[in-house]
């Protein structure tokens, strides 16, 4: 059931915010493109794989996509439904019509004809073939869920989900719930669970920077005029005053690396506190050390320090990995094994033979918007 090969100038893989931003920039410069998306909707991460209470963490001026600002009526921190509405309007405005249910299985550069050849698996059966001079990887930093290997996990008698399956604490009232992973998702899911009356614990394995939302947004503004290490010192100081020493609750700050330095160097985002810290201090949320194994025939969760607890539910907020290397051939100069850019910022978006990536430099929506504009300008000059 193969259709013919569709020809275009640029092929974008992924219709999340990054792919949409790129499509809009192409539209503005009249660059023909095709956008391929494995799911049946745009921005599937926000539509299908995030929790209800989610708000964008940064102020709206830092989260809007190119050529169409957020409506002025939007609150400073955009809630999930409003963001989805904005993205829908964005796609309509720029006439972006993704080819949904097209999972890219293979993309390779054909030296002879100097074109990218892309093969997709179409949901419901069939394959799609596309060819273009340029190829844009917009599959996101969060394309595949990651759950670490835990001894005995398959024996666990309770419910196990990944954070992308969590919607709200409804249904978890009075249950013993363990959240594994103390990134932004894990911390906010723990808060949500606790507010719904779940007996909530969270695994905090390594040191983290907990920062207030206003301080991190102020810090981002300061970055424009003050060197990063000074902004980091400021953030650490301010947040020590706000939250105090949390060591006795099982939470330490990284001793050397500041909040922004950690993000830029290792992609370790600071934790923007939405109220979780207060619940940890009041004892409503318990902090536990790293997970070791599941024992007693699947009833007991054992932690690194030897303590054991029983849980009804385990929620893995352990993040994501990328599988770009599984489908992209000839992208070795641009992307590493983990699907992240090899060239250093600010040259991370451009590879060889007309290959580009957008939104993979750990700079959030703001970085994606910049990448999209750079890519469109670059291609515009070439054609
Ligand atoms: C819970 C949560 C909250 C977040 N909050 C913020 C925030 O407040 N601010 C911020 O800046 N960032 C936030 N992020 C980070 C977020 O990942 C990005 O900002 C944003 O989603 C990046 O968009 P993207 O288009 O690059 O990736 P994605 O939104 O992940 O989109 C990639 C798309 O590519 C598709 N795709 C993947 N592989 C294939 C394939 N092989 N073939 C076809 N299609 C494919 C996926 O289905 C997906 O639709 C958050 C992330 C999470 C998980
Ligand atoms: C293990 O760590 C938890 C949380 O920090 C603590 O409550 C518990 O007492 C510790 N158990 C042992 C055996 O050290």
| Residue of 51, 139, 181 to mutate, ligand 1, most atoms within 8 A of C-beta | 139
Residue written as token pair 């640029």: 10
Confidence of residue 273 (pLDDT cuts 50, 70, 90): very high
- Cα of 41 vs centre of ligand 1, distance in Å, is 13
Ligand nearest to the backbone CA of 365: 1
Closest residue by Cα to atom 29, ligand 1, is 16
Q: Is 249 in the pocket of ligand 2 (CB under 6 A)?
A: no
- Cα of 49 vs centre of ligand 2, distance in Å, is 33
**Residue 171: count of CB within 10 angstroms of its CB:** 11
- Cα of 337 vs centre of ligand 1, distance in Å, is 19
pLDDT the model gives residue 95 = 98
pLDDT the model gives residue 267 = 79
Q: Let me know: does 13 contact 121? Beta carbons within 8 Å.
A: no
| Residue of 13, 24, 39, 45 to mutate, ligand 1, most atoms within 8 A of C-beta | 45
Across 61-88, average pLDDT: 97
Q: Report which ligand 1 atom has the smallest distance to the Cα of 21.
A: 25
- Cα of 190 vs centre of ligand 2, distance in Å, is 19
Q: Report which ligand 2 atom has the smallest distance to the Cα of 287.
A: 4
Q: Is 283 in the pocket of ligand 2 (CB under 6 A)?
A: no
Question: What residues are paired with 335 via a beta bridge?
Answer: 341
Distance in angstroms (rounded) separating the CA atoms of residues 279 and 61: 30
Ordered by where they begin, the domains of the chain are 2-143+322-382 (3.50.50.60), 145-316 (3.50.50.60)
Residues 290-325: tens digit of each pLDDT: 999 999 888 899 999 999 999 999 999 999 999 999
The answer to whether residue 287 scores a pLDDT higher than 50 is yes
Closest residue by Cα to atom 13, ligand 2, is 307
pLDDT the model gives residue 3 = 56
Q: Is 52 in the pocket of ligand 2 (CB under 6 A)?
A: no
pLDDT the model gives residue 263 = 86
Ligand nearest to the backbone CA of 291: 2
Q: Report which ligand 2 atom has the smallest distance to the Cα of 303.
A: 1
pLDDT the model gives residue 264 = 81
- Cα of 214 vs centre of ligand 1, distance in Å, is 24
pLDDT the model gives residue 1 = 46
- Nearby residues of 168 by Cβ (< 8 Å), 6 or more positions away: 51, 52, 53, 192, 196
The answer to whether residue 105 scores a pLDDT higher than 70 is yes
Residues 200-219: tens digit of each pLDDT: 999 999 999 999 999 999 99
- Cα of 276 vs centre of ligand 2, distance in Å, is 20
Helix ranges, the chain (H): 17-28, 44-48, 80-93, 184-195, 213-222, 228-243, 259-266, 276-281, 324-327, 364-382
% of the chain at pLDDT higher than 90? 95
Backbone φ and ψ for 217, nearest 5 degrees, come out as -70, -35
């Amino acid at each position: 059931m193969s259709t013919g090969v569709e020809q275009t100038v640029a092929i974008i893989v992924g219709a999340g915010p990054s792919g949409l931003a790129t499509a809009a920039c192409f539209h503005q410069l009249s660059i023909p493109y095709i956008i391929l998306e494995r799911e049946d909707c745009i921005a599937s991460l926000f539509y299908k794989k995030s929790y209800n209470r989610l708000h964008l963490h940064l102020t709206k001026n830092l989260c809007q996509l190119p050529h169409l600002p957020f409506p002025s009526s939007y609150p400073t921190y955009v809630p999930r439904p409003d963001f989805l509405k904005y993205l829908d309007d964005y796609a309509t405005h720029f006439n972006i019509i993704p080819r949904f249910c097209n999972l890219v299985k293979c993309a390779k550069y054909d030296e002879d004809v100097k074109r990218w050849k892309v093969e997709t698996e179409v949901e419901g059966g069939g394959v799609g073939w596309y060819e273009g001079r340029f190829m844009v990887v917009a599959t996101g930093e969060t394309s595949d869920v990651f759950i670490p290997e835990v001894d005995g996990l398959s024996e666990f008698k309770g419910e196990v989900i990944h954070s992308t399956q969590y919607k709200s604490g409804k249904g978890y009232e009075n249950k013993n719930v363990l959240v594994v992973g103390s990134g932004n998702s894990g911390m906010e899911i723990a808060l949500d669970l606790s507010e719904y009356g779940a007996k909530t614990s969270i695994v905090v394995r390594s040191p983290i920077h907990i920062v207030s939302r206003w301080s991190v947004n102020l810090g981002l503004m300061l970055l424009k005029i003050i060197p990063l290490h000074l902004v980091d010192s400021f953030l650490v100081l301010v947040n020590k005053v706000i939250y105090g020493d949390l060591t006795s609750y099982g939470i330490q700050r990284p001793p050397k690396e500041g909040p922004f330095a950690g993000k830029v160097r290792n992609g370790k985002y600071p934790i923007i506190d939405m109220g979780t810290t207060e619940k940890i201090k009041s004892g409503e949320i318990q902090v536990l050390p790293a997970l070791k194994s599941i024992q007693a025939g699947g009833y007991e969760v054992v932690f690194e320090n030897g303590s054991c607890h029983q849980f009804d539910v385990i929620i893995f907020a352990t993040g994501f990995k990328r599988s770009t290397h599984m489908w992209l051939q000839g992208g070795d100069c641009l992307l590493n094994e983990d699907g992240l850019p090899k060239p250093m910022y600010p040259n991370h978006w451009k590879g060889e033979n007309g290959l580009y990536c957008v939104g993979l430099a750990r700079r959030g929506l703001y970085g994606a918007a910049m990448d999209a504009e750079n890519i469109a300008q670059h291609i515009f000059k070439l054609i």
